[in-house]
Amino acid sequence: MHNFPVIVLDFETTGLSPQHGDRAIEIGAVRIENNTVTARFQSLMNPGFRISSFIESYTGITNSMVAAAPPCGEVMEQFAAFIGAHPLVAHNASFDRRFLDAELRFIGRSRTASMACSMLAARR
């Protein structure tokens, strides 16, 4: 087992596709080093538009919650600093990767780290 830091992350979003205008509304992540959580990051994000009642029901995140949250760009600047160049892990990583990459593009950044999928690993 390697002991280098790994970031495990999860997004909540307004829908399934950043290519169709969906945005992130929450990001949660932990940094794991030597099998121990050494840092946490969590923030709601204001996408700049109302979220659907379906998404409110599905995620438990309401329009009033995101209205009081910082804008996506502000949160993503902080999150980019949190993840640095550490390897990333997500469950169903193809989904989270699309949103991570899209939100980073909005702030003129790009992902530099590799991203592994725990769902694919569990199926092996």
Query: What is the C-alpha separation between 13 and 17, in angstroms, rounded?
Result: 9
> Mean pLDDT across the stretch 102-114?
96
Predicted pLDDT of residue 46: 99
- The CATH code of domain 6-123 reads 3.30.420.10
Q: Is the dihedral of CA 11, 100, 48, 74 positive or negative?
A: positive
Exposure of 37 in the CB half-sphere (CA atoms within 13 A): 7
Amino acid identity of residue 53, one-letter, is S
Report the percent of the chain where pLDDT is more than 90. 92
Mean pLDDT for the chain? Answer: 96
Are 118 and 91 in contact, with CB atoms under 8 Å apart?
yes
Amino acid identity of residue 1, one-letter, is M
